[in-house]
Chain A
Amino acid sequence: MVSGPPLAFLLVFFAAPTLIMVLASFRSPGEFGGLAPLVDASGRIDLNVDGYARLVTEPVFAQVFVKSAGYAALTTLVCLLLAYPLATLIARSAKKHRDLLLLLVILPFWSNFLIRIYAWMIILGPNAALARLVNRALAAFGADPVPLLFSAFAVLVCLVYVSLPFMVLPLYANLEKHDRTLLDAAQDLGANAWQRFWRITFPLSLPGVYAGAALVFIPALGVFAIPDILGGPDDTLIGNLIKQQFLETRDWPFGSVLSIVLTAAALALAGGAAWVARRSGGASRA
């Protein structure tokens, strides 16, 4: 059975370790970090739902979840808008150019992540051309200068930047398969470019759109490096909070709790989107 090997691999190297941490979310933090022993000094098994209770009693975590979802959603939308024309162009190009164009999309991402972020810090710096342009325009309207770096804008730009290939590649893989003759037929029947796109191309590309959206939105939910390096003081996302639990606070159980809730929310959203896709996709399948 073709699902055997991947299933086996993931059961061993993913499910098992993750279950350890799921169990950890019900344990207490070790005094010096890590986890407290499962069976405490008096011989009782030490399991509790303190971590989950904290999520309910301290609303700040829910607020940060919502903010992170907002950033991730915005990132996904912008990625889609940028990626769609790019993927279409590549899918439509001559066969001998296609692979090269695809490689050109992904080439920047073989340089190191940190270096690319530093490049954005240079582009968005207060003394750089872009910031001066924007602030001069703002000053013309009488508004205060706004920092481009260390802001939500910087975080979003970088999020889009690192996520773009993960939207382009699935879209391309899907668009490449589209039958040109459908579009020709539609044109012959009098449909204009927009109608051809909206009524034929886009619905057919929905599986690619959903795949790309999943591969952008879900990882973006858990990001922490980008807000750490160029976020402002208000740009703390759930990924940062989770990292804090494992490192500075050394509260692994609570870190596990946050991670599990985040994962469950992400999977639920993905599942919900897939359900919606199945419902509407059936009708528009050409």
Chain B
Amino acid sequence: MRKSGPWLWASALVAYAFLYVPLAIVVVYSFNDSRLNAEWVGFTLDWYRKLAGDGAMIAAAGNSLVIGISASVVSTVLGTMAGVAMHRYRLRVLPLLILAPIAIPEILTGVSLLIFFVMLNVTLGLVSVAIAHITFCIGFVAIVVRARLAGMDETLTEAARDCGASPWNAFRYVTLPLITPGVIAGALMAFTLSIDDFVITFFTAGAGTITLPLQIYSMIKISVTPEVNAVSTLLMLLTLVLIVTAARISPTLLRSTQESTS
């Protein structure tokens, strides 16, 4: 590990501060004794109490988590495959299909998917939302994985093949551990995109499906009360706990991150 100069530390700290000052406001204001999210009035735990009794909000948060996890898992798998394929072969169609969902305005994707689902007589619900999320998340994962592969030493994989490893084994035991940081980065991005998506979810959700962003955005005109801050804070903590636990349970994941750089 190299020693990092003071300039590096200073600019990195500025970046972290930039990220965390608004977040601090979000968390602190969840204890704000005022219906508005506009200025500090006083301390209260009321909003957390209200949240505990708000079945609709909790159900919405639960739906968002479920969709987020499933969408990020599937899109990470598919996106990694796409990233590897794009790096290895000179493809024409796939790169376009990968980048286009990122470029196309969400409203168009949302409306077109709704029309498509209706045409196929698909019942709208959690699954339709998850499929929609996977569609736009694949690209993010693929791009990150490909960027990671671009900096990778191909000779290692070639050496493995020369030693008699099958393509799948060469991928599993050589390539995959080397690209794991990219895969993890992609998965984190996919999850983040999914739990916060509004536009596409609005159009592809069914009559009884409500996710957290749908719930919150509908409050935008009346007032986004600190109850939303409370649920956001809790969701953040819950997600952090889930990920740390998952990392503890599957130490192989972390180990490959560490080993690949030794």
Contacts and interface: CB of A to CB of B under 8 A. Distances in A.
Categorize the interface residue count of chain A: 35 or more
A173 B212 CA distance: 30
A233 interface: no
Contacts, number: 296
Contacts of A2: 81, 84-85, 88
A218 B99 contact: yes
Name the residue in B20, B88, B102, B108 with the highest tally of chain A Cβ atoms < 10 Å from its Cβ: B108
Contacts of A102: 184-185, 188
A221 B103 contact: yes
Interface of B is mostly: helix
A106 interface: yes
Contact of B236 (A85, A107, A165, A205): A107
A210 B22 CA distance: 28
Interface residues of B, number: 105
A155 interface: no
A36 to B, nearest CB: 14
B181 interface: yes
A183 to B, nearest CB: 7
A242 B96 contact: no
Given A6-B79, A14-B101, 15 more contacts: A3-B82, A9-B138, A10-B97, A17-B113, A18-B112, A105-B19, A110-B195, A113-B198, A118-B38, A119-B26, A169-B185, A218-B102, A221-B103, A243-B107, A270-B103
Interface of A: 1-3, 5-7, 9-11, 13-18, 20-21, 82-83, 85-86, 88-89, 92-96, 98-99, 102-116, 118-123, 125, 161, 164-166, 169-170, 172-174, 176-178, 180, 183, 193, 204-205, 207-208, 210-211, 214-215, 218-219, 221-222, 225, 239, 242-243, 246, 252, 255-256, 259, 262-263, 266-267, 270
